[in-house]
Structure 1
């Protein structure tokens, strides 16, 4: 009775803490557990499984009824539940709602439905996941009620873990675990909806497979990854020429096909039988190679099988993982800027409508990886110099005579009043830099150029024009303070404002020529902006295009996916506040010089490149 009483306390604690999840009155559920009134052996197994699942930590927060608050003690907010705890809470609610009826077992063992789920978990490696993360103890012989309860709870928890990993949960907090510049989160599923779908189906395998990203590039990367692994495992196995073979048929060549695609015969199936699982693998290869994906072993398919792809499996797996963080809905019209590629694209209803070169942040002042919404286009913008540049670059320059202020036409205003001040008359060895802001007015040398695209974000980065067009001829274009410069920003403005307001290029040119300075044009409808980091892309025919891992994100993800966390160096938080009161000599030590361009012009471009 002690264990049962502990489970009851857990339910009470959870109900009290989560009124939106649990029933307001837990008494009927508690009574049902204690009296066994839920009915039948299966319900008893389900109730026992639920007790194994419920977050044990909830009971630890219970206080004696006579406990009184400590005088003057500050209220401590409870810690946020972990994804695993949220899984357990959702499962507990799910089992209660179905009267503790098991989902996976009967008194005899696993059901056929459970076996299908277990088989799909074992195939997790086909999706770039680790099957070891979803292991469930098998049931053998005549299982005891305790073993059945453990199997029921174990499979439920494994399925929930699989669902999380399919959406990126293997590395749940990349900004904390890998790099603060990689500001993304897993695309969590609705746990209740998933459990409802699993309860309603006889075959959970398609439900689990459906959790993975639907983006075409994810599917192609997965197929390239599988093909690379299979070709390596096949050790040069060649498909002979022959007639077409339809799925469902039987032929000696099918045994060779199985070896080539790494799909063994299971459940007593003859190796020469062309079953549905093998046909799926053939369709995947056909999709990757850009031929008709009908699953038929044609002469063209035989030929493509003898032209294996040789990709880098670590690179492909890392890129698949990075796709798991991308929203399922990119937006009817959206901007996608791929940092390692140094290129930007705009898509409208699935069609590419703009494609240009960009420059991105330096290695030590990286362009962050995140998604947000564009809200504003500004023509002839003035530029407020960010605090980090003001302290680390402008202040030392002022102490040396203010060369940067003169060369870039910068002006200074008092922070408190906005009053324009003459920086030449200030003793910068005694002045407090926090009292001043530095601006660059609109003009030919303004570092933002003619137009700026704003998607307000915590990283203080945006996209903009630049007077330094020569940089777009460089192969490696990582040379700003984090903002992204666009080679043809007026064309980009035309594309965006044509869709948003129906404006044509003549209207854009008129705004540039005769419009006011710092002319703000709010968008009627926000546009999704996705700053991404993909170092591999699969092209038509299965060719893999790769880009340099300029910030090291690919390597960190590859190491994390293999569990080699000790080899990952997590850098400093780039959002840490800048101490504007520290002497410049100290601040300069915190910001090492970039090794991109040794010329004076290159230094200026690096320092005043926008962003942080």
Structure 2
């Protein structure tokens, strides 16, 4: 079911469509009674339009060119109505409103005269449906073609899948359920309409002046701050010019919902987020809708309904465990630095095991770019690292090597750090084997978690509370997960602990998110990815609103 707000908008817009199409549909149904979809002329009209599309032609050939849309059955009529409704609502989903040929379909329905015309119309419905179905279900863009670091390579639904679905007895309902059915998608639809309403009414008013404000302050700057918080629904209406306790709570709530330190002090970071205009927020929501459609490729909604899922939102700097769709554990995270070879990728995989007291096998890129230059200057540097031969594992004494004879391409050895509290991976790592060599792990650098923006790693995800994360994972398979974990930890030996149930892990990137209390919040575009995606959406015809404050 769509959220109530989206349905209200949808119903209002459909009334006009229904009035326009009712006459055409009525005449169309009467005209069809005088012709047969099995006529040679109908087939010739259909084939003339689909012969160049091998997959569509094969589908119709297998059903002896029996129509999906163009017959007098109730099912066929319901499909037509449901699809025309869907085309009228593409703007709600932030899809290009002129892309799917709704007006051309309506015009054809009004002017159809012969069986051949009906065959052509059948093909036009199918062509329009396939384009719409793919866009609303799986997204307008191919993620990795926009940004290589978005590694969502799942299988798209095929032409056969889409046409079989719409040709089923419940084809009308199939059309209705093509958009993502996740709660997050419905929340985004509702928020988008709310933001559009704000934009139509001129935005959120004047920006907050620069400065630093806290409880007890007063003056015109505080009035501007109060007005902005009222406009964004964090405060009830008031004319007070004093930063009081109610404003303090509103500021803290705003900060929490925007990934800021919730200290109630209005400084440069908070003011920057308060002053983001509604048009920029609409961009974030529009991109989030597209990203949610990409997630349909892996049936992520189904994953969240399973007993356990791990969700890492890179822009939020958090890692969460969800049980039956409810967050049961959350910890701060550190993500990859905003550099070409260090940004954390987006992908989905499965967590299979953890390693307690892990060794750190230094990635090749770090070895040759960071450590080799130091070793060339001082072979005794980084004494905590062991050098070995990759194929045999034999340890290589540093004094026996002339490091100056090697460069990034020719250095033949690898480096590793043995298990210890100071190990770069800390005391535990959580493995989801993948081609990116990305995993979650502990870290000895705890102070980084005190920072608001936490992009400091080489790409892997560091956890502030790795032990508690481990307990939560083990509680499904151990009567005493804390004792089991620490008994292994205290041995100091590198030990692999398999998870009896593998857990879906989704590393995502959302600048428009749902907060714990159901309010929509926003995050900064840490890597600039959403800006690139929005540009790509604009290039294929997505339009959201005029610029407002």
Length-normalised TM-score, structure 1: 0.63
Q: 2:66 aligns with which of 101, 107, 112?
A: 101
2:24 aligns to what? Answer: none
1:125 aligns to what? Answer: 91
1:572 aligns to what? Answer: none
Contact 2:353 2:499 in 1 (8 A): yes
Structure 1 CA distance for aligned equivalents of residues 516 and 401 of structure 2: 62
SS at match of 1:534: coil
Q: Residue 223 in 1 paired to residue 219 in 2?
A: no
Contact 2:350 2:504 in 1 (8 A): yes
Number of residue pairs aligned between Structure 1 and Structure 2: 416
Q: Residue 336 in 1 paired to residue 336 in 2?
A: no
Mapping of 1:46-65 within 5 angstroms?
Answer: 46-48=42-44, 50-52=46-48, 54=50, 56=52
Q: 2:350 aligns with which of 361, 369, 373?
A: 373
Aligned CA distance change for structure 1 residues 403 and 209 (closer, same or farther; 3 Å) = farther
SS at match of 2:195: helix
Mapping of 1:166-205 within 5 angstroms?
Answer: 166-171=136-141, 173-175=142-144, 177-185=145-153, 188-189=156-157, 191-201=159-169, 204=172
Structure 1 CA distance for aligned equivalents of residues 176 and 332 of structure 2: 36
Larger-Rg structure: 1
Deviations for 1:275-331, whole angstroms, at most 9, x for unmatched residues? xxxxxxxxxxxxxxxxxxxxxxxxxxxxxxxxxx95721110101111112223224
Q: Which has the higher contact order (CA 8 A, sep 6+)?
A: 2
Contact 1:363 1:478 in 2 (8 A): yes
2:506 aligns to what? Answer: 530
2:364 aligns to what? Answer: 387
Mapping of 1:494-509 within 5 angstroms?
Answer: 494-509=471-486
Give the deviation of 1:218 after TM superposition: 1.2
Q: 1:556 aligns with which of 500, 510, 532?
A: 532
Q: Residue 414 in 1 paired to residue 389 in 2?
A: yes
Structure 1: give runs of 5+ residues left out of the alignment.
Answer: 1-38, 57-84, 237-308, 566-612
Q: 2:420 aligns with which of 427, 443, 455?
A: 443
Structure 2 CA distance for aligned equivalents of residues 525 and 224 of structure 1: 36
SS at match of 1:148: helix
2:20 aligns to what? Answer: none
Q: 2:111 aligns with which of 141, 155, 158?
A: 141
Q: Please, what is the CA RMSD of the aligned residues? A: 2.8
Structure 2 CA distance for aligned equivalents of residues 500 and 442 of structure 1: 25
SS at match of 1:376: strand
SS at match of 1:393: helix
SS at match of 1:458: coil
Aligned CA distance change for structure 1 residues 114 and 186 (closer, same or farther; 3 Å) = farther
Contact 1:185 1:325 in 2 (8 A): no
Aligned CA distance change for structure 1 residues 104 and 441 (closer, same or farther; 3 Å) = same
1:353 aligns to what? Answer: 328
Give the deviation of 1:142 after TM superposition: 4.6
SS at match of 1:126: coil
2:174 aligns to what? Answer: 207
Contact 1:43 1:100 in 2 (8 A): no
Give the deviation of 1:390 after TM superposition: 1.1
Structure 2 CA distance for aligned equivalents of residues 46 and 332 of structure 1: 51
Deviations for 1:553-600, whole angstroms, at most 9, x for unmatched residues? 2111211111179xxxxxxxxxxxxxxxxxxxxxxxxxxxxxxxxxxx
Q: Residue 471 in 1 paired to residue 448 in 2?
A: yes
Q: 2:282 aligns with which of 313, 332, 341?
A: 313
Structure 1 CA distance for aligned equivalents of residues 112 and 202 of structure 2: 43
